[in-house]
Structure 1
Amino acid sequence: MPLPRARAGLLVAVTVASLTLAACSTTPETVVTEDALPSPPATSPEPTATVEPSEDSAEPVSAETPTCEGIIPASLIAEFEAEGWSVEEDVFRVAGIELADGVQCLWGDFTIASDHVQLFGWAPITSEQSGTAQGELVASGWRSEQDARGVIVTESADTTVTTDDEGYGLTYLFGDGWVKYADTKQSIALVEWPRD
């Protein structure tokens, strides 16, 4: 049965419109093909590869990221490992402040119950955070004193468990934009970050 003239005209119009849309829709695809994308300029620098540390290296992969193996000397790590010690790494905390870009390290033999451990830490810190942390520590009984390297804040002699030859226990050293931490004032000297 032949289609009525109006329906046949409508069918032709719909078909033409569909073909026109199909033809138009293929145009953008040719624009976004890989061949159509601009090539990088010939002077673009090659991407730099991340250098992985060797097995005996204590240097971290990134110069900006402190790690437990990077903030103390490799020779000290070798001594710890010879004793069967390992490390537990945590976020650096001082008073009520967490410094997420820092690292706090507890070295010891965790296969046995023992309080024979060593603590080290390093973190970047703002002057505002530094002032707040020092104030909180002193308010809770810690002692503060000026040092040639910065401000030393050490735990009260009444609460310390382990001390160095000078009688200092847990100690923070606040410098210009950074804070170091160790189980004694003398051990602060072992924290070497950032590396030169």
Structure 2
Amino acid sequence: MRLLARVILPLGLAVGVLTAATACSGGAPSPAPSTKPTSDAKSIAPEPTTTPPSSDTPATPPASMSCETLIPSDTVAALHKQGWAAMKRDFAFGPDPVPGGIECLWSDPAIASDRGLLYGWAPIAGAEAKTRQEQLVASGWIREDSARGVYITADPRASLSQDEDGYGMTYLFGPGWVTVSDTKQGLVLIDPQG
């Protein structure tokens, strides 16, 4: 039931994607970074700080990775039942695509609106991963280290859509890969291995 509620929430997806594009290109103003997001509307509990896993070798993308296999089949079925379809594109930081990556924008193709869901995965490691994290933080995104990896999330004051914990568009950098979703909670659905 929680999944269906999440699927039908209106999102500022176009603004979130634009925010991501401008964040890496340096086009957005840079508010002072902090160690965790803050929001006037919600309080966010930080995850315990640990040393995140690292890798100098990018993960190998699964041969069968698609918008239909990037997230669980029951989520895909629920989205199709709603009349939604996925628009596949390259995973990119601003204008820079990441080879082997995928981003999927799920929405109702018959309606032009800002309602939709974003899920993405790409292989990335070492210096490139570190550089992308630093670029996002320098553009006002907020870094959080956790046992799962490094979260880089949009400043909640600039996010039109947020999850229950106040997180908007968020990247998760793990050992050899990065994922992205329109909210931090959406990241738990991404599993390119199926």
TM bin, normalised by shorter chain, reads: 0.5 to 0.7
Structure 1 vs Structure 2 CA RMSD: 1.5
Q: Secondary structure at the match of 1:100?
A: coil
Match of 1:69 in 2: 68
Output the amino acid matched with 1:167.
Answer: G
CA contact (8 A) 1:66 1:102 kept: no
Shift of 1:95: 4.7
Where do 1:18-57 residues align within 5 Å? none
Q: Per-residue displacement from partner, 1:125-155 (whole Å, max 9, x unpaired)? A: 1211111110110011000001221000000
Aligned equivalents of 2:142, 2:95: Cα separation in 1: 17
Q: Per-residue displacement from partner, 1:25-70 (whole Å, max 9, x unpaired)? A: xxxxxxxxxxxxxxxxxxxxxxxxxxxxxxxxxxxxx933521111
TM-score (norm 2): 0.66
Match of 1:103 in 2: 102
Where do 1:91-170 residues align within 5 Å? 91-95=90-94, 97-170=96-169
Aligned length: 134
Check if 1:79 corresponds to 2:78.
yes
CA contact (8 A) 2:62 2:192 kept: no
CA contact (8 A) 2:121 2:177 kept: yes
CA contact (8 A) 1:146 1:152 kept: yes
CA contact (8 A) 1:87 1:107 kept: yes
Q: Per-residue displacement from partner, 1:105-124 (whole Å, max 9, x unpaired)? A: 00000211211100000010
Identity, % of aligned positions: 40
Pair 1:126–1:65, CA change in 2 (3 A): farther
Output the amino acid matched with 2:181.
Answer: A
TM-score (norm 1): 0.65
CA contact (8 A) 2:99 2:123 kept: no
Aligned equivalents of 1:104, 1:93: Cα separation in 2: 8
Regions of 4+ moved over 3 Å: 62-65
Match of 1:11 in 2: none
Output the amino acid matched with 2:189.
Answer: L
Q: Per chain length, whose mean CA-contact separation is higher, i.e. which structure has more relative contact order (CA < 8 Å, sep 6+)? A: 2
Specify the structure having the higher radius of gyration (Cα). Answer: 1
Output the amino acid matched with 1:110.
Answer: P
Aligned equivalents of 2:132, 2:175: Cα separation in 1: 14
CA contact (8 A) 1:96 1:133 kept: no
